[in-house]
Structure 1
Amino acid sequence: MWHKVNLLSVLTFALLFSWGCQPKNKDANLMIQKEINEGWTFRQLNEGEWLPATVPGTVHTDLMKNGIIEDPYYRLNELDVQWVDKVDWEYQTTFLVDENILERDRVQLDFKGLDTYADIFVNGELIFNADNMFRRWQADVKDLLNEGENELRILFHSPIVEGLKQYDANGFVYPGAENDQAERGQVEGNKRVSIYTRKAGYHYGWDWGPRLVTSGIWRPVTIQAWDNARIENLQIIQHEVSDERATLTAVFEVEAEKKGKATLSVKNDGAVLATANIHLQHGVKTYKVDFEIQNPKLWWTNGLGEAHLYDITGELALGKRTITENTRIGIRTLELVREKDDHGTSFYFKLNGHPVFMKGANTIPNDIFLPRVTDENYRKMIETARKSNMNMLRVWGGGVYEDDLFYDLCDENGILVWQDFMFACAMFPNDKSFLENIRKEAVDNVKRLRNHPSIALWCGNNEILTAWNTWGWKGQAEKQGADVPEKVWQAYVDIFHKTLPEVVSEYDPQRSYWGSSPSSGMGVQADLVNGDEHYWGVWWGKEPFNTYATHLARFMSEYGFQSFPEISTVKKYAAPEDYDIYSDVMKSHQRSSIGNGTIEYYMLKEYRRPKDFESFLYVNHVLQAEGIKFGLEGHRRAMPYTMGSLYWQLNDVWPVASWSSTDYYQKWKALQYYVKKGFSPVLVSPYEDELKLKVGIVNDRLEQVNAQLILKMMDFDGQVIWETASLAEIPANSSRDYFNENKHEFLYRKDTRNLLLSAELIENGKTISRNIYFFRPFKELDIPHPQVDYSITKTDSGFDIELKTDKLAKNVYLQIADEKGFFSDNYFDMLPGEKLTVSLETEMSEEKLSEALTVRTLDDAF
């Protein structure tokens, strides 16, 4: 097999930088780089036979593929696999090395992700010990290699056993880590050990995820060989930008084996922008080359313009040898504006000189088993954000620094990224080695991501500051000794006020650092007038949905409400006997301590009890969407006081009841369709404000909108009892009210059980926003049973479905059973007599669609 691979490498070397049988003229060669991803086997340490393994992968997924464990996502299987993280595992493979590799100046193994405590051996020799999932690990191995076959072995130590050692050695228990499901994980003494390990916190459990503490080679392993020098990193620093030019600096980080003359060049699409002659120094050094781009095209967020990107190539010429490094940049100015005003201190992002309201969501990893996240998963995720009119995603601090593709896609689609460092909901240690580990982790990831125009902010942690001040953590520390609170707080300061901001200042000084989310500044507890806010009065506090629109901070970085996934997803993890929200399986796939009961509590305040389990899921989707709608629209109407709305959360790590707007299989819930409309560039929004009935209009565009505002009050059979039309001149980047009436006078002697208010904005003959407002909860409305008819027309990408209703059709819900497809709209209201067309992207046949398609309205659910 290997002889065939090497023969192919000879034939394709010039294109593939391949491996083995290389030409002997070394100066003509580029770096040799080969992924070591074949022939892997694994076993429990010193036990049993060696079994086939997949790299990148995890122990759990390898055990599943070999039939040792069942899918832990199905029913209650998660409980049966908790033994996996208590034992050690070993992986091994062999790889070939030829004479040409051994002749190179340097040969290195590069591990982009090891999860987590790992001893790495080459031909029986220990080359290093890894202890951080988030770091890149590299080691020189030339002196250990043989020509021909070589052995690579990795021993993974149990993260639980290692954590217990550190837990027991510490003189006190750090507060927090309540999401560490140690009891479910059958950990000795229910000890929460997650904080001692630089590993994704959500692996130990969270209030939307299972407890599956993985080990494994989770990112690629490569062998690299080169001569003389290589470009270790290429940073592009932007200085001034005008219509005529952008001034920039390319910072080359070069690792050289010896001193010598060299030439650095910066190119864009092959055109040379600048060159510089340098004297290389031995070791790792940086060299700067200034350059300009004439008449630059700016990078804009989704909805404001093109997210234009420049392909930049850095070249290092050494005699006849040229080493290259490629990167992409977007030219834009971006700043976090913190200025005193009449209310407090602002918190908003200014892009290319314009304040921009941030519309988006929080994200978590797409799977517990990270190597299962495909490029297609990432593409669907960012496409969902783009289609939904988002311009920011927050990468939450209990997961991982995402793969490069995630940030590439955000760059391409104009999605800014609020990037947390990986710390969430716990206090952490600060011994010298732990702090140094954190520092190296931060350096690795800041350097990896800093060229992306999508990176907007580095944030130290999720909710730790507010938890220390208001969740009783300080009291937990005080009970363990008078000096414990000071020790715990000093650890916080060392990590979040020193180590992390120092890394950002040194390696990415043009971006802002924010110590904790939420907060009002470095070490300052969050309030509503000075910073960002996580609002959980709705849900945890059982406050009514309309408080979303009145509990307003300068930037709303978290808020949310739960729903189950749709029935086709539930079928993938539950059996029919589990179809009850209080069954053991449904409770297990619900990790919020108040979850299913809270969903039911809010549902019965707004709706009657659904007639069956599937109807419960449908109504739950609508409940979630209608609730979050208060927040989306209320936050936008409050601009410029409030300048961001990031709901919790966009996605799921497994099939579960959670706060997500798309489920584990990336199916859109009702909420995602509501988000798309609620984040539209121009929004019309009817609402009640105490005794007033108002209609607000928000315009995110950077130019004035001239539109016709049409307001109609009609009954559910279609009779219009009041209407008005007016010209609305909506200034650029603004929010204001265009209708303001006393609610009681306006509704005097009107039966609001049978009335709605339709608000529509028409620009150049096209509806750009429409919103329907009801004056009572659904259970108090006299909803008729509508007749909804439809017809189907074949299209290139699927079908157009034309619908018509005779009466008000509430939350029209299209389903195609378990078939694959995407509806352009769903869960929408139709006015009496209205016709509309929904597109379905699918590969189904028309015959199959006719069998699978169902159309429901909300009155069917009771």
Structure 2
Amino acid sequence: MKHILMKLKTAVIAVGLLSGSAMSASVPLVKNLHEGWKFKQARLTNWYPATVPGVVHTDLLQNKIIEDPFFRLNERGLQWIDKEDWIYETRFSLSSDMMQKENMDLVFEGLDTYADVYLNDECILKADNMFRRWSLPVKQYIKEGDNVLKIYFHSPIKIDVPKWDALPYHYPASNDQSENGGLLNKKISIFARKAGYHYGWDWGPRLVTSGIWRPVYIKAWSDSRINDVFIEQKQVNASKAVIAGHIELNADKEMNDVTVTVTDEATGKILGKQQTNLKKGINQVTVNFALSKPKLWWSNGLGEPYLYRFRTDVTANKEILDSKTEKVGIRSLKVVHQPDKDGHTFYIELNGRPVFAKGANYIPCDNFLPRVTPDIYKKTILDAANANMNMLRVWGGGTYESDLFYDLCDEHGIMIWQDFMFACSMYPAEGELLESIRQEAIDNVKRLRNHACIALWCGNNECQDAWLGWGWKPEIEKQSKEYADKVWAQYQQQYHVTLPEVVKEYAPETFYWPSSPFAFEGEPSGTTDGDRHYWSVWHGKVPISDYNKEKSRFFSEYGFQSFPEFESVKRYAPNPEDWDIRSEVMMSHQRGGDHANGLIETYLLNEYKTPHNFQSFLYMNHVLQGDAIKTAIEAHRRQMPYNMGTLFWQHNDCWPVASWASRDYYGRWKAQHYYARKAFEDILISPIVEEDELKVYGVSDRIKGASGKLQVQVCRFDGKIIHDWSKHVSVGGNTSQVYFSAPLTEVLKDTEKGDVYVRVVYADKSGKVYDNNYYLGKQKEMNYPKVNLTTEVQPMAGGYEVTVSSDKFARAVFLSIADNESLYSDNYFDIQPNGSVKVQIATQLPVDKFKESLKLTCLNNEF
């Protein structure tokens, strides 16, 4: 009853606040400018309807001027678009209430990229940075009635090629696909403050966009408005949170007796109040307050990611002038980077507790960013949370993500490693460009600093290691040591002066890391200090088993490639002649080229037997990728606390492609994602052979220890048990420890390695069961028997429950149906001899069509 009364009380408070705001004539008014847009090629005459937010490619597609850029080979024929200038135009009028306001700000949340903005034929802005937020006072230009807003987008190619031509040396940009764009070797992406992946990457197409890619609106106000609220958490622990609310106000005149109030919206309690006088222009007001026994924000798996709603009101003469609400998670979050006996630690400490980071690297969900809907964002973040991740790394060749992305990470306890938008390149960071970079950093640090999920800011992706270890420095030194010294000086100014200064000033409690990977300035990364990108498995062609040997303090990148599954491939390559990994279409959707295809084949044939057709190849490639990343995750977790993080490359794709992603462009989980979900559970039971000993590790992320029964079995594939051991053990919280060890010869009892598998099961006293299967050789060395798989289908709400049974041990059973929107509770799973697994499948297919299209694939029967 108390809970219900509190809900009613909160609702009454909220209604009262809304009513008060609605009655106030002083609050700012906002008009979105998203309607009535048209666009044209600047040198031509035909106008077409445009969608805002959007980009020119999606507008051309919607008007049927181009075909789907992601379908088959269409990308190749669309390289003319970025060589053209484009004009966007709309007309709008404002209400009389808005016209009566003293001030009007025209706000662009994002312009991509070189854009001249005209309002009623007056040029009011020349934008040059996709990542900036532009706010312009426009009261003097606005007319009653019809107003014309026009934006002239200059071709980024035409703007930046002359910059490349003018330099006596050239900055490296390893992933810029200039040749695909008809620019030969002119890798010009480094000149534009624009998403690097638009120019191509080793998993993405070259589609260089222009457009109004984020919302545009007019905000009209009088007297004063809130520009920004920063909730600075100066001290946080379980008993008290000391907070400073820094409010930036813009006043159009001097004002006395203005009151700034911070309220907890959930309770209606006023937390802090400050009375002040305002000068004309920008004012900074601080409201200090404290929370007793705050509800703390925890990362996924450790507790509730609780969010407060702090509302800031600005009042004068008993009227609300402006109001702004921030959702804030109260937490103490530190990156602990300090000397120890092995080098330097690198780990997250959340609310005083070391946290092992489990997750993946994140790239943009589409090449055309306005197409990323709220539903896509929700699925993307839920797919991370539901795979037991607690961290995503927002990689530096994409974009600073939308507010919704970070809101969802706050809500689901996903910590964010946030790169600044620089990747795999060196940049001419001086003069106007460096100042643009500084302003970009200020805009985004201020925008994101209230989000509980932000764990750290990182200067760039791989730029220092590339300069020191990829041959970039000696290549420029061949031309001139003076040039090389200049490039390195620009690098140091950018990442060791400008960006850390911005973070220190605008988010003083947040950790800054100069590069990833990084150990020390001017030195290559390593295994004992800082973070590491480990690519010897894959690029270095070493065996997958080497994951078990390699060490780091924090693995922030590693990965293994696969193609999408066959149902996904058919969406972008539907013709049977496309169904070969070296067909023209499949090669176009493999940006690693034949080198990457060769790596997949080499690893596959080294670990598995030869696939018998294209579909079999795709399936086995998925199992291969899943097994590889499972091996890596388990190895990294066993290293705790020496290693305290494992972020695989990568969580998602920006188009349908062969890549390192664990989820394909359409959101379908690959084997890797299912395997990662299990390997990321709060307790991992991990068997491994080390020096001819079979060992079983128990690794726990729990705050408290667990007690339960551990069972270790060596089983034949027909179900006969060769070795059986069990014991009640306590798995300590936040630890990695060996709980079973025996000579391999002892547990095998003269049985061949290829005839058995190791089965481990841990059941804690709460009834939760953790299990794992381990193989004593490569998959091609396993003597898997042919199996008989049977299914039983039962309808359920939103789909069907399928029970899959097997007479013998079945390896990596994969279910698929002819429904691109279907979702599976599990897939690529093993079935124990004479056992079964239940899978829930969400689908709209009628039962007859479902049964008809249901297909089962199993590794046993593929060999």
Q: Which residue identity does 2:694 align to in structure 1?
A: L
What letter matches 2:808 in structure 1? K
Q: TM-score, normalised by structure 2?
A: 0.96
- Structure 1 counterpart of 2:295: 297
TM-superposed CA distance for 1:799, in Å, is 2.1
Residue 87 (structure 2) pairs with residue 86 (structure 1) = no
Say which of 39, 42, 47 aligns to 1:45.
Answer: 42
Instruction: Report the residue type matching 1:815 in the other structure.
Output: S
What is the rounded CA distance, in whole Å, between the counterparts of 2:176 and 2:584 in structure 1?
A: 20
Match of 2:5 in 1: none
Residue 818 (structure 2) aligns with: 817
What letter corresponds to residue 398 of structure 1 in structure 2?
G
Deviation at 1:785, TM superposition (A): 1.3
Question: Which shifted more, 292-301 or 625-634?
Answer: 292-301
The 1:16–1:83 alpha-carbon spacing in structure 2 relative to 1, beyond 3 Å, is farther
Whether the 8 Å contact between 2:722 and 2:749 is mirrored in structure 1 is no
Q: Is the 8 A contact 1:17 1:30 kept in 2?
A: no
Residues 113-512 of structure 1 correspond to what in structure 2 (within 5 A)? 113-174=110-171, 176-187=172-183, 189-261=184-256, 262-269=258-265, 270-322=268-320, 323-512=322-511
Partner AA of 2:578 in structure 1: D
CA 1:522–1:288 in structure 2 vs 1: closer, same or farther (change >3 Å)? farther
Matched, 1:661 2:659: no
Q: Secondary structure at the match of 2:630?
A: helix
The answer on whether the counterparts of 1:264 and 1:276 sit within 8 Å (CA) in structure 2 is yes
Q: Say which SS state the counterpart of residue 770 (structure 2) adopts.
A: strand
Q: Alpha-carbon deviations, 1:393-427, whole Å to 9, x = none? A: 00000000000011000000011000000000000
**Aligned-pair CA distance for 1:16:** 12
Contact 1:117 1:159 in 2 (8 A): yes
Deviation at 1:805, TM superposition (A): 1.2
2: CA distance, partners of 1:210 / 1:816: 29
Bigger CA drift: 439-448 or 136-145?
136-145
Question: Which amino acid in structure 2 is aligned with residue 97 of structure 1?
Answer: L
Distance 2:766 2:436 in 1: 60
Deviation at 1:529, TM superposition (A): 0.2
Deviations 1:492-546 (A, max 9, x none): 0111011100000000010100000001144442110011000000111100011
**Matched residue of 2:837: which SS?**
strand
Alignment of 1:1-12 (within 5 A): none
Deviations 1:550-597 (A, max 9, x none): 111100000000000011110111121110001111111001142111
Give the CA deviation at 1:767: 4.7
Counterpart-to-counterpart distance in 2, 1:330 and 1:33: 28
Distance 2:242 2:576 in 1: 63
Counterpart Cα distance in 1 of 2:72 and 2:111:
29
Segment of structure 1 superposing worse, 844-853 or 139-148: 844-853
Paired residue secondary structure (1:165): helix
SS at match of 1:536: coil
Aligned equivalent of 1:10: none
1: CA distance, partners of 2:715 / 2:725? 12
Q: Determine helix, strand or coil for the equivalent of 2:161.
A: helix
Residue 320 of structure 1: CA displacement? 3.6
Q: 1:243, CA displacement in angstroms?
A: 3.3
Q: Which residue of 2 aligns with 1:5?
A: none
Q: RMSD over aligned Cα, in angstroms? A: 1.7
Q: Distance in 2 between matches of 1:499 and 1:324?
A: 33
Q: Deviations over 1:627-660 (max 9, x none)?
A: 1111100000000000000000000000000000
Alignment check: 8 A CA contact 2:237 2:332 kept:
no
SS at match of 2:93: strand
2:649: which partner in 1?
648
Q: What is the number of residues matched between the two proteins?
A: 842
The Cα offsets for residues 677-733 of structure 1, whole Å up to 9 and x where unpaired, read as: 000000100112232221111011011111111011111111112101111111111
- Whole-angstrom distance in 2 between the partners of 1:730 and 1:244: 29
User: How far 1:17 sits from its partner (Å)?
Assistant: 13
SS at match of 1:840: strand
**Residue 586 of structure 1 corresponds to which residue in structure 2?**
586
How many Å apart are 1:608 and its aligned residue?
Answer: 1.3
Q: Distance in 1 between matches of 2:168 and 2:502?
A: 29
For residues 757-776 of structure 1, the aligned pairs below 5 Å read 757-764=758-765, 766-776=767-777
CA–CA separation in structure 2 for the residues paired with 1:258 and 1:853: 70
Is the 1:709–1:726 contact (alpha carbons within 8 Å) kept by the matching residues of 2?
Answer: yes
Which residue number in structure 1 is paired with residue 51 of structure 2? 54
Cα offset, 1:152, TM superposition? 0.4
Q: CA deviation at 1:70?
A: 1.1
Q: Is the 8 A contact 1:791 1:802 kept in 2?
A: yes
Deviation at 1:746, TM superposition (A): 3.7
Aligned mates of 1:514, 1:790 — CA distance in 2:
52
Where 2:494 maps in the other structure, the secondary structure is: helix
Residue in structure 1 matched with residue 12 of structure 2 by the alignment:
none
- 1:523/1:506 CA distance change after superposition, 3 Å: farther
**Aligned: 1:545 with 2:541:** no
* SS of corresponding position for 1:63: helix
Secondary structure of the corresponding residue to residue 326 of structure 2 = strand
Secondary structure of the residue aligned to 1:114 is coil
Offset at 1:841?
Answer: 2.2
CA distance in 2, matches of 1:388, 1:138: 40
TM superposition shift of 1:797: 3.6
Equivalence for 1:837: 838
**Partner amino acid, structure 2, of 1:114:** L
Query: 1:571 — aligned with what?
Result: 570
Corresponding letter in the other structure for 2:232: I
By how many angstroms is 1:54 displaced? 0.6
CA contact (8 A) 2:640 2:736 kept: yes
2-side partners of 1:264 and 1:819: how far apart? 52
Counterparts of 2:505 and 2:598 in 1: how far apart (Å)?
49
SS at match of 2:31: strand
How much does 1:286 deviate? 1.0
Report SS of the residue matched to 1:750.
coil
The equivalent of 1:515 in structure 2 is 514
C-alpha separation in 1, matches of 2:504 and 2:602:
48
1:564-713 matches, within 5 Å, as 564-574=563-573, 575-593=575-593, 594-713=595-714
Q: In the alignment, residue 534 of structure 1 is paired with which amino acid?
A: H
Structure 1 residue 819: Cα displacement: 4.2
- What amino acid is the match of 1:536? W
User: The residue matched to 1:725 in structure 2 has which SS?
Assistant: strand
Q: Could you tell me whether the CA contact under 8 Å between 1:822 and 1:842 is conserved in 2?
A: yes
1:211 is matched by which residue type in structure 2? R
CA distance in 1, matches of 2:664, 2:239: 46
Q: Work out the CA distance in 1 between the residues paired with 2:522 and 2:364.
A: 28
- The answer to whether the 8 A contact 1:610-1:616 is kept is yes
Most deviating of 713-722 and 677-686: 713-722
Secondary structure of residue in 1 paired with 2:518: coil
Tell me if 1:67 matches 2:68: no
